Chains A and B, each alone.
Chain A
Amino acid sequence: MFIKNVVKFLLGLTIFAVISLLYALFSSPGGFKMGGMQTSTFDLSKWSIVQFSLFSIQFGLVVFLVILYFGFARKSLENEVPEETHKKIEVFEKKYFWIAISILLVMLLLTVAIPLTTNQLAQARDNRTRISSSDTLIYAHAFQFGFEFKTNGTGSVTNNTWMPTLTLIKDKLYEFVLFTSDTTHGFGVYSPQNLLVDQSQIVPGYNTHFLMKFTETGVYTIRCMEYCGAGHQIMETTITVA
């Protein structure tokens, strides 16, 4: 009986969902249109060591697993191991149980050390000891859908009005005070090569202190890294580093 009710319901649900989707597409203010493919360039030589490490781990594993799947999985499943081997495995497990537990515990203890060495944590700690130097302090206001900055004479900036972009000095440590006047935003820093190099979230009601040293000259792009509404995709600005 339950199945019969479900089947009838599914018929209604499908019709309702399709009509709703069509209504949404046709009533959308921008409507929809057919277009061509976009073109872009993709230059691997611009990748940093982080990107290469992630890439190697990820795709090395894919290749390994594909080989495992085709080479061993099927064969292993269809072969049967003799009964005495089952018993030997049980004895082996019982004998080495505590050794396995000890190894796992040591591995877990080692992982505790990992977060203590990360840059992000260093930054989080630095958040408690502010730079408090007026010439490197920058207020960054995030809003739907843009950023604006205010400084106290940093770099080539000479007044205190809100500005859509900034010019800063290479290799100098800056303290950004990030805040938002509406919803949550992100503060993603992209290098002149368009690689994400650092980021922070900007939570409503809080001032986030974000330390950043720009190590290259050129134009950095700041992009919103948290979905914030219909104009999220255009929420960006630039910082020129001289």
Chain B
Amino acid sequence: MEEKDFIKEAKELSIGYFITGILVLGLAVLLGFIARTSQSGMFVISPSMFYTLITLHGMLAFVGWGTFVAMGLTWYTLVKALNAPLHSVKLVRFIYWNFMTGAAMLIIGSFWGGFAGSWVFLYPITFHGNWPAWASFFWTLGVILAGVSIILYGLEILLTIRSAGYSLWDSWGFESWKKSDVNDYTFPIAAVPLSIIGIGMIIATIPFAYLLIYQLLEILGVVGTMDALLAKNLLWWFGHPVVYLILFPVVGMIYQMVLDNTGRKRLIGERLTKLGWSIAFIVQNIVGAHHIYMDLVQSAWIPIFSQVSTYVIVLPSVVSLYAIVGTILIAKIEWNLITKYLVTTIIFWFLAGISGIIQATMAFNVFVHNSLYIVAHFHTMALLGLSSMLFATGFYIVQDYTGVDIQNNRWANVGFWSIMIGALSFTSMWFIQGMWGGIRRDALSTPTNLTILTDLSIPFMLLTVFGILVNVYLAIRPFANLNQIDVYHEEKNPSTN
């Protein structure tokens, strides 16, 4: 069947984001590996250099890979689910190039200026480091550009939904409140998490942008200092919902992939799932304070409220897991590389969710806050869980677009198992170190009585880096010969060329 032009166009856009992001991931994991070998004493760099590397590692891996690729794969998933074109392809291209300009500024600020404020650059660390002011300026401006792209991303999703003729309330799951029969639902389930993250990111990013712009003006000497506690709240107002900028699009991709592969029109438990998403719409922007339980100067109601709202946000995850697992269990799906990554995502999403609930509970948080347990949690979620789905969807689209068979390439399995064995092993060591109180962002892996686990994690990290580089190769290789792709398109669909 002939592919619609707007789907092909969305696919091209998604691929552009995906291959850029996966290359950034390759760089990010190398930086992380160098930092870890320094902690173990194998390849020792100065503490300043260590902090510069982990600062850039965090930003590139989380924002340059996870967030950026989730944004990119959103375009294909959204267009496929709605069966309608994007509102503005020009805007989507602008988002890409604007984001890339920001990424270049971050690299200059860190590598050339030595900025090492950590990727969250908790205010006022920017003004108390051993790097020049211009490095802070580049870094802050780079993050502002990324923030602008994120706001425009949210806007583009909502505009696309509106221009396709759908109600925004329906797109946020509120259909389930008024219609009891799922057959009456009009809005496609795969686009629900995309719409929710669209509005969520606009709400979350604007206050954070205020902090960034204020900081930029402070670097220039135009304004005085800001209240540090307010700055921390503004940071986490954005800092937690931005995690959902990876999770929610990934869930949308899973829904779409499960429906495509099972041939079903509806998920099992679709009404419950949409209801869960409508609740996520309400609470997604009010959970961030669970990152600052240990700020005892805050009013007591804030942690109480935040702990409860965090438990509430678990609801869409729980019902989604039920819906996805239920749907794939009753249908027949071919077992291949893509479905293997899909199942892996489901498993680690669940596992990381449990450790997330543990640390979002104040009684436990006091023992693990800012420890390696947190690092283990988000690597389980972001690397083993969500990245698996980004790989799956990315490979699927690249394969479809270029005609190059990725899933039957034997290196694809080597990449998969290297990442799974490597990352599960080294994150397990972080979990143990974190339970003991091993401090995150620490050049010496303090307390040093735990360094045996740091040493043990090195071979597993090397295995993970190898697996990721294999995946980088698999994603980029089909684009080595662009003319061949043109020929493939001509053979596949002569009328459009």
Residues 362-405 of B at the A interface (beta carbon under 8 Å)? 362-371, 373
Which of A25, A61, A182, A201 is close to B295, meaning CB atoms less than 8 Å apart? A201
Interface segment out of the listed B247-255, B331-339, B463-471:
B331-339
A58 partner residues in chain B, CB cutoff 8 A:
354-355, 431
A80 partner residues in chain B, CB cutoff 8 A:
331-332
Residue contact A35 to B48, C-beta cutoff 8 Å? no
Is A51 at the interface (CB under 8 A from chain B)?
Answer: yes
Residue contact B295 to A118, C-beta cutoff 8 Å? no
Residue contact B49 to A225, C-beta cutoff 8 Å? no
B407 partner residues in chain A, CB cutoff 8 A:
none
Per-position binary interface string of chain A over residues 76-105, scored 1 when its CB falls under 8 Å from any chain B CB and 0 otherwise: 111111000110011001100100110010
Residue contact A225 to B125, C-beta cutoff 8 Å? no
Is A131 at the interface (CB under 8 A from chain B)?
Answer: no
Interface segment out of the listed B9-17, B151-159, B199-207:
B9-17
Interface residues on A, range: 35 or more
Please measure, in the bound complex, the distance between the C-alpha atom of A108 and the C-alpha atom of B318, giving whole angstroms: 13
Residue contact B330 to A89, C-beta cutoff 8 Å? yes
Is A229 at the interface (CB under 8 A from chain B)?
Answer: yes
Residue contact B229 to A231, C-beta cutoff 8 Å? no
Is A38 at the interface (CB under 8 A from chain B)?
Answer: yes
Contacts A20-B108, A80-B332, A233-B47 known; A54 to B446 CB distance under 8 Å?
A: no
Is B5 at the interface (CB under 8 A from chain A)?
Answer: no
Is A215 at the interface (CB under 8 A from chain B)?
Answer: no
Residue contact B42 to A36, C-beta cutoff 8 Å? yes
Q: Tell me, rounded to whole Å, the shortest Cβ–Cβ distance linking B456 to chain A.
A: 10
Which of B130, B182, B367, B449 is close to A196, meaning CB atoms less than 8 Å apart? B367
Please measure, in the bound complex, the distance between the C-alpha atom of A101 and the C-alpha atom of B318, giving whole angstroms: 13
Which of A14, A35, A127, A226 is close to B23, meaning CB atoms less than 8 Å apart? A14
B444 partner residues in chain A, CB cutoff 8 A:
233-234
Residues 1-29 of A at the B interface (beta carbon under 8 Å)? 2-4, 6-7, 9-10, 13-14, 16-17, 20-21, 23-25, 28-29
Please measure, in the bound complex, the distance between the C-alpha atom of A55 and the C-alpha atom of B93, giving whole angstroms: 46
Residue contact A77 to B332, C-beta cutoff 8 Å? yes
Contacts A38-B455, A54-B364, A62-B351 known; A32 to B311 CB distance under 8 Å?
A: no
Residue contact B122 to A226, C-beta cutoff 8 Å? yes
A7 partner residues in chain B, CB cutoff 8 A:
19, 479, 482
Interface residues on B, range: 35 or more
Residue contact B443 to A232, C-beta cutoff 8 Å? yes
Is A106 at the interface (CB under 8 A from chain B)?
Answer: no
**Residue of B19, B30, B339, B442 most packed against chain A (CB within 10 A):** B442
Please measure, in the bound complex, the distance between the C-alpha atom of A65 and the C-alpha atom of B325, giving whole angstroms: 14
Residue contact B128 to A182, C-beta cutoff 8 Å? yes
**Residue of A9, A24, A74, A79 most packed against chain B (CB within 10 A):** A24
> In this complex, what residue of B is CB-closest to A117?
B363
Which of B48, B122, B347 is close to A68, meaning CB atoms less than 8 Å apart? B347
Residue contact B43 to A34, C-beta cutoff 8 Å? yes
Contacts A81-B329, A201-B292 known; A24 to B114 CB distance under 8 Å?
A: yes
Q: Tell me, rounded to whole Å, the shortest Cβ–Cβ distance linking A88 to chain B.
A: 10
A112 partner residues in chain B, CB cutoff 8 A:
308
Residue contact B40 to A38, C-beta cutoff 8 Å? yes
Which of B110, B269, B446 is close to A223, meaning CB atoms less than 8 Å apart? B446
> In this complex, what residue of B is CB-closest to A100?
B272
Is B437 at the interface (CB under 8 A from chain A)?
Answer: yes
Is A144 at the interface (CB under 8 A from chain B)?
Answer: yes
B354 partner residues in chain A, CB cutoff 8 A:
57-58, 61
Please measure, in the bound complex, the distance between the C-alpha atom of A158 and the C-alpha atom of B452, giving whole angstroms: 41
Is A167 at the interface (CB under 8 A from chain B)?
Answer: no
Please measure, in the bound complex, the distance between the C-alpha atom of A35 and the C-alpha atom of B43, giving whole angstroms: 6
Residues in chain B within 8 A of chain A (CB atoms): 12-13, 15-16, 19-20, 23, 27, 30-31, 38, 40-49, 51-52, 93, 96, 100, 103-104, 107-108, 110-112, 114, 116, 118, 122-125, 127-130, 180, 182, 227-229, 232, 268-269, 271-272, 275, 292-298, 300, 303-304, 307-308, 311-312, 315, 326, 328-335, 339, 343-344, 347, 350-351, 354-355, 358, 361-371, 373, 424, 428, 431-432, 435-437, 439-444, 446-455, 476, 479, 482, 485
Residues in chain A within 8 A of chain B (CB atoms): 2-4, 6-7, 9-10, 13-14, 16-17, 20-21, 23-25, 28-42, 47, 50-51, 54-55, 57-59, 61-62, 65, 68-69, 73-74, 76-81, 85-86, 89-90, 93-94, 97, 100-101, 104, 108, 111-112, 114-121, 123-125, 127-128, 144, 182-184, 186, 188, 190, 194-201, 203-210, 221, 223-234, 236
Offer 9 A-B interface pairs, CB within 8 angstroms, sorted by A: A28-B46, A78-B333, A111-B307, A121-B300, A183-B122, A199-B369, A205-B229, A230-B48, A230-B129
Q: Which 7 A-B pairs have the closest CB atoms?
A: A30-B46, A196-B437, A20-B111, A80-B332, A227-B441, A118-B363, A81-B330
